[in-house]
Amino acid sequence: MLFIWKAQAYIYAKCYYDLYSFLLNYQLNVNFTSQDRLSLSLAQTTYSGGDTSLFESISGDIVDKGYSIRPYALPTNLTSLLSQHIIELPTDEFKRAGIGRTKDHMINDFIRTDAISWITDDSEAGCAWINWAESLQAYLNRRLFLGLFSFESHFAHYAKGDFYKKHKDAFKGEGNRVLSVVVYLNPHWASSDGGELVIYDKNTPSSVVVDNSKITVIPSFGTIVVFLSEEFPHEVLAAKRDRYSIAGWFRLNNSIANNIDPPS
């Protein structure tokens, strides 16, 4: 356990050290490439506590409805960095996604067919993403007292035909996933490209003619979706072309007595 803490402390320290050296270089007026400038403005937007008005909108939506859908809202430089990173990730970094605790591949194929790669902060893109998510976490904790304690997330790739059937990200009393966040990294997504996220909102009455209880989200570049993990069943319709996204979860602290157990 101590080892895990030490390892995490090291990773965080490294992440901030990278930023620190980066800003130091800036002050020393080292010659800049345009890539550096992009990274610096990225660092400024993502490390300086985040985008308050965006976080406030997300927070308000969660209070009102339990979910938030914000089209094209992720800072463009962060979205570009992530989308570049995900398409450059070697194929063998992606593993077929599992479901819950089952290892049965037959069931797996029936429920979801996407491939995932867990995000760590050993890439610039991973680091920037985790910092953005942690700024959101801190904001929501201050504003809504949610007690979010940790964050985990993965890149996801849905190839043509891939889907994820209706599911919930957490079940009451079982896990400690509280809030789900999804962002999309697909430039120029047309509605004919499929791959929509459908969220089922039990509070919105459905009618026979138009099913209002279904909320359909097009997975466009920079669109952010946040929802309470235990409240909203959702599914990903079959994509008709490569579909890239990030799915992440904020967790509560799963501590038993004095035994703090950060999820690995």
Q: Binding residue for Mn ion (CB under 5 A) from 169, 193, 196, 231?
A: 169
Phi, psi of 59 (to 5 degrees): -60, -45
* Residue 245 binding partner per list ligand OGA, Mn ion, none, with a CB distance cut-off of 5 to 8 Å that depends on partner kind: ligand OGA
Alpha carbon distance 177, 196 (integer Å): 23
For helices 124-144 and 34-47, the axis angle rounded to 10 degrees is 20
The alpha carbon of residue 12 and the mean position of all alpha carbons in its chain are separated, in whole angstroms, by: 19
Stretch that binds Mn ion, among 7-15, 135-143, 163-171, 249-257 (CB under 5 A): 163-171
In this structure, what token pair is assigned to residue 12?
A: 């965080």
Residue 182 contact, options Mn ion, ligand OGA, none, Cβ 5-8 Å cut-off depending on partner type: ligand OGA
Q: Min. distance of Cβ 247 from Mn ion in angstroms?
A: 6
Tell me how far apart the alpha carbons of residues 57 and 250 are, in angstroms, rounded to a whole number: 18
Site for ligand OGA in 170-209 (CB under 6 A): 182, 197
Q: Does 51 bind Mn ion (CB under 5 A)?
A: no
Question: Length of the chain, please?
Answer: 264
Name the amino acid, one letter, at 90: P
Q: Is 136 in the site for ligand OGA (CB under 6 A)?
A: no
* Contact in structure between 37 and 31 (CB atoms under 8 Å): no
Asked if 69 is part of the footprint of ligand OGA (rule: CB under 6 A), the reply reads no
162 is an interface residue for Mn ion by CB under 5 A = no
Q: Which residues make up the interface to ligand OGA (CB under 6 A)?
A: 156, 164, 169, 182, 197, 234, 236, 245, 247
